Amino acid sequence: MQKLLISTLLCASLLSACSVHKLEIQQGNVIAPEMVEKLKPGMTTRQVKFVMGSPQLTDPFHKDRWDYLYILRSDGKIAEKRHLILFFEGDVLSRIDDQTATTPPL
């Protein structure tokens, strides 16, 4: 009986210790300010991929738009969220829309 009580208390303490620690979870493409500064209208899609990597979202109906999303969650809450939209005309970057400040947290 005493062993059962000790093992139950041990399991309960281990389970409570697991719930205290929360991981940082990164989702999407990392969008560093230095990367965004390198983007300039007139760059080719190849040059943009070199700077930013492949876009997380590509729409088959809007091939001229690339979306880069990044979310960092810490302790279950959104610590950082970035949304960058790049528009192309043909193979050339025409416009950069940084919606980071205007996008409400999830």
Is the whole model's pTM more than 0.85, yes or no? no
Give the tens place of pLDDT for each residue, 60-92. Answer: 888 899 999 888 887 777 778 888 999 999 999
Domain architecture of the chain: domains with CATH = 23-98 (3.30.1450)
- CB neighbours (10 Å) of residue 63? 10
Give the tens place of pLDDT for each residue, 27-65. Answer: 666 788 898 899 999 999 999 999 999 887 777 888 899
Smallest Cα–Cα separation from 64: which of 45, 36, 81, 51? 45
